Structure 1
Amino acid sequence: MRRWRAWGRNDDGSAALEFITVGVILLVPLIYLVIALGTIQEQTLGAEAAARHTARAIAMASDVDTAAARGEAVLDGIIDEYGLDPDAVDLSLSCTPAGVECPSAGATLIVTVIARVRMPLVPPVLGLDRAASVEVQATAAQKVSRTWGSE
């Protein structure tokens, strides 16, 4: 009985072990959180750049065909630069005032880019990678020249 009490009170060396165990348990999720937030931030900046530069490229083009070609080229370049998933990027165009052809002279072009960000280290088993994804969205507006399309 006496040995049992002495053994129960002996804490030599357990503080380091507890610190390492708790540190690892807290450190692993913290590292994953930093990686996940970095991925989301990168994709958000990519969506913002895609919306802004695509709007500018379309608004500065001389006609519809040139605008479409430049818009696609800019979007493809930004998708490559920021590592966006081309299948997970949606781009929509609209113009104000409502009812005008888009793009048209004097209109304000509004470009919206929506991208799905897949979380790191999530396996594509049973669609978990799609379920564990975050949607990011960016919108940019650009005024189209009044002389657009007349050149």
Structure 2
Amino acid sequence: MRRWRLSAKNDDGSAALEFITVGVILLVPLAYLVVTLGAVQERLLGVEAAARHTARVIGQADDIDSAAANSDAVLASVIDEYGMDAAGVDVSMSCMPAGAACPSAGATVIVTVSTRVSLPFVPPIFGLDEAASIPLEAAAAQKVSRLWGTG
């Protein structure tokens, strides 16, 4: 016959329950972090590629018409490739030196692309998806050929 002391507790099975509870408490935020960082990384690569390729196309174009057409096509292609929303992507262009026409022969064109990444599983009610979003921006510079506009 077994004698039980009053102060002894029966802990049979509690380790598994504690492991499951702590595991879920730690695993859910870790999984959310991985999903969120994946979404941010994908969008960041897309923004960087859009800025770099658009600047390169403008810098290698022969004239303003081909630069505009080619840069629009490249930008649309990159946006589609990375699954970005075209309405949420802002593109701006500037040139160095500041007084030069943009783009012009010998100038450096700087293309800046910006967008926002909404956090996963945030519902689009009451503007929560906009409030819980991460802004991303990338810029790329490309020297315009000295023969710009002569070809």
Same fold flag (TM > 0.5): yes
In structure 2, C-alpha distance between the alignment counterparts of 1:50 and 1:93, rounded to whole Å = 12
State the match for 1:80 in structure 2. 80
What pairs up with 1:71-110 in 2 under 5 angstroms?
71-110=71-110
State the number of aligned residues. Answer: 148
Q: How large is the RMSD of aligned CA atoms in angstroms?
A: 1.5
* CA offsets 1:49-102 (integer angstroms, 9 cap, x no match): 000000001111111111111111111100011111212211110000011111
In structure 2, C-alpha distance between the alignment counterparts of 1:86 and 1:76, rounded to whole Å = 8
Query: Which 5+ residue runs of structure 2 have no aligned equivalent?
Result: none
Structure number with higher helix proportion: 1
Task: Report % sequence identity.
Answer: 65
Query: Which 5+ residue runs of structure 1 have no aligned equivalent?
Result: none
What pairs up with 1:39-78 in 2 under 5 angstroms?
39-78=39-78
In structure 2, C-alpha distance between the alignment counterparts of 1:149 and 1:121, rounded to whole Å = 49
What pairs up with 1:2-151 in 2 under 5 angstroms?
5=6, 9-151=9-151
TM-score by length of 1: 0.93
In structure 2, C-alpha distance between the alignment counterparts of 1:71 and 1:56, rounded to whole Å = 9
